[in-house]
């Protein structure tokens, strides 16, 4: 497993960045929105009324921020997408791919990874890159809905369904990728135990 240490380091960096964004960067935005959650935090996104309510919260805070000269929730939200949330999705995608690969790396019987396990790894890759696309497009749509420029216009309800599909797709693909990775590691550990069992042959 020594050859895999860069991958495990990548996973730790990804986890650390997630914790920093979730516990340091996002809560102040929530506070400015009267503790409403930003769309990224909801696994199934906002429905029409929910999106309209959070849009009103963004607009109200933005007006106050302009009057007092501070950064608004809308500006902080767009800035988050342009900084940490621009780096995190590729890191998470790479981490998912690594975790799937690590389960197949040097199995208990070298060169004998079952076809089903290889297919599972392929699905992890497909889901990881689907997540990446959903996350990036979701951020662009969210900025178009709740960014400072959008707040000067009327609420655009045509974006609500698109944003909800993208947010749901992001969480669904992540959940499936994690489930497949757990299955691959379960296979690896089970195979290792069988190979170490007395009379397993070799």
Summarised one tens digit per residue, pLDDT across range 12-55 is 999 999 999 999 999 999 999 999 999 999 999 999 999 999 99
Domain of 51, in residue numbers:
2-192
Domain count, the chain: 1
Write a three-state SS string for the chain.
Answer: CHHHHHHHHHHHHHHHHHHHHHHHHHHHHHHHCCCCCCHHHCCCCCCHHHHHHHHHHHHHHHHHHHHHCCCCHHHHHHHHHHCHHHHHHHHHHHHHHHHHHHHHCCCCCCCCCCHHHHHHHHHHHHHHHHHHHHHHHHHHHHHHHHCHHHHCCCCCCHHHHHHHHHHHHHHHHHHHHHHHHHHHHHHHHHHHHHHHCCCCCC
Question: Can you give the pTM of this predicted structure?
Answer: 0.89
Give domain status of residue 9, yes or no: yes
Give residue 202's pLDDT: 44
Output the CA–CA distances (angstroms, integers) from residue 90 to 25, 103, 128, 174, 192, in the order listed.
19, 20, 9, 13, 31
Give domain status of residue 198, yes or no: no
Instruction: Please state the length of the chain.
Output: 202
Instruction: For 74-109, write each residue's pLDDT tens digit.
Output: 999 999 999 999 999 999 999 999 999 998 876 445
Give domain status of residue 163, yes or no: yes
Instruction: For 170-201, write each residue's pLDDT tens digit.
Output: 999 999 999 999 999 998 888 767 666 555 55
Give domain status of residue 39, yes or no: yes
Instruction: For 124-146, write each residue's pLDDT tens digit.
Output: 999 999 999 999 999 999 999 99
Give domain status of residue 54, yes or no: yes
Give domain status of residue 197, yes or no: no
């Amino acid at each position: 497993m020594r050859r895999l240490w860069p991958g495990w380091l990548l996973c730790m960096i990804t986890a650390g960045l997630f914790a920093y964004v979730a516990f340091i960067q996002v809560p102040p935005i929530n506070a400015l929105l009267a503790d409403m959650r930003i769309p990224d935090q909801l696994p199934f996104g906002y429905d029409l009324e929910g999106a309209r309510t959070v849009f009103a919260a963004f607009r109200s805070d933005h007006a106050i921020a302009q009057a007092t000269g501070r950064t608004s929730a809308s500006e902080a939200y767009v800035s988050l997408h342009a900084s940490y949330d621009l780096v995190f999705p590729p890191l998470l995608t790479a981490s998912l791919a690594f975790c799937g690969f690590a389960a197949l790396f040097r199995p208990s019987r070298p060169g004998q990874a079952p076809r089903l396990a290889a297919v599972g790894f392929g699905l992890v890759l497909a889901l990881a890159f689907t997540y990446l696309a959903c996350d990036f497009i979701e951020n662009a749509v969210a900025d178009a809905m709740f960014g400072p420029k959008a707040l000067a216009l009327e609420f655009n309800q045509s974006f609500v369904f698109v944003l909800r599909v993208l947010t749901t797709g992001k969480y669904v693909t992540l959940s499936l990728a994690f489930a497949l990775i757990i299955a691959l590691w379960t296979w690896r550990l089970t195979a290792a135990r069988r190979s170490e069992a007395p009379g397993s042959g070799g």
